[in-house]
């Protein structure tokens, strides 16, 4: 099985997925916010906020894990993506770091399945097409390092975002790069 065979792209509500972990596109406080962050906190219940309060925030590009509480996912990996400032402040590297660090946490916990939203593409303004290329390339590189996680899902909130991820995955498979 190739690394590309271990990646899927779907359009769905990430809070409904029955996977070992979903990744939250969190802010540095980890205390909830808008978009996918707010949806995950709402669906998980108040226990998630209480757990996040014990984590002392999280730096941009890093990730931390909590239980999933009322979610179908067993865990939530909170990754803090960069705010887009035109690409001159290390945003690409920080976004790649979010994906890499999330997968390292999943690997350390021996989690078989992880679902990612399109980190930083909402209110943080990261260009969605470029973010998808970075996400797919970074995940492929990490998956090439070992058997875990077995499956990574890019869970898009709309078809346009899913299309960017599918195109990046197709480019990876064809050898054109992500």
pTM above 0.75, yes or no: yes
Of 5, 8, 13, 37, which residue is the catalytic one?
Answer: 37
User: Per-residue pLDDT averaged across 69-97, rounded?
Assistant: 98
- Domain parsing of the chain, residue ranges: 4-174
Q: Please give the pLDDT value at position 176.
A: 66
Per-residue pLDDT reduced to its tens digit, 56-76: 999 999 999 999 999 999 999
State the fold for domain 4-174.
3.40.220
Quick check: is 20 catalytic?
no
Report long-range pairs for 67-71 (Cβ below 8 Å, ≥24 apart). 68/21, 68/22, 68/44, 69/44, 69/45, 70/43, 70/44, 70/45, 71/15, 71/22, 71/40, 71/43, 71/44
- The H or E element containing residue 151 is strand 151-156
Q: Where are the beta strands (DSSP E) in 13-141?
A: 21-26, 63-67, 75-80, 113-116
Band of residue 99 on the pLDDT scale cut at 50, 70, 90: very high
Q: Please give the pLDDT value at position 175.
A: 83
Q: Please give the pLDDT value at position 178.
A: 46
Q: Please give the pLDDT value at position 177.
A: 55
Which strand ranges, in their side-by-side order, compose the sheet holding 75-80? 7-11, 151-156, 113-116, 21-26, 75-80, 63-67
Interstrand relation of 151-156 and 113-116 (parallel, antiparallel or unpaired): parallel
User: Per-residue pLDDT averaged across 104-127, rounded?
Assistant: 97
CA 159 to chain centre: 17
pLDDT > 70: what percent of the chain? 98
């Amino acid at each position: 099985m190739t690394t590309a065979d271990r990646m899927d792209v779907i359009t769905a509500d990430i809070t409904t997925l029955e996977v070992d972990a979903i990744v939250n596109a969190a802010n540095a406080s980890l205390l909830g916010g808008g978009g996918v962050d707010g949806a995950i906190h709402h669906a998980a219940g108040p226990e998630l906020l209480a757990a996040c309060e014990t984590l002392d925030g999280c730096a941009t590009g890093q990730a931390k894990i909590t239980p999933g509480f009322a979610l179908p996912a067993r865990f939530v990996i909170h990754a803090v993506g960069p705010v887009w400032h035109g690409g001159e402040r290390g945003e690409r590297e920080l976004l790649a770091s979010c994906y890499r660090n999330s997968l390292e946490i999943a690997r350390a916990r021996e989690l078989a399945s992880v679902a990612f939203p399109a980190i930083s593409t909402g209110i943080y303004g990261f260009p969605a097409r470029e973010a998808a290329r970075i996400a797919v390339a970074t995940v492929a590189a990490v998956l090439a390092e070992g058997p875990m996680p077995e499956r990574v899902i890019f869970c898009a909130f709309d078809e346009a975002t899913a299309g960017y991820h599918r195109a990046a995955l197709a480019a990876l498979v064809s050898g054109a790069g992500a």
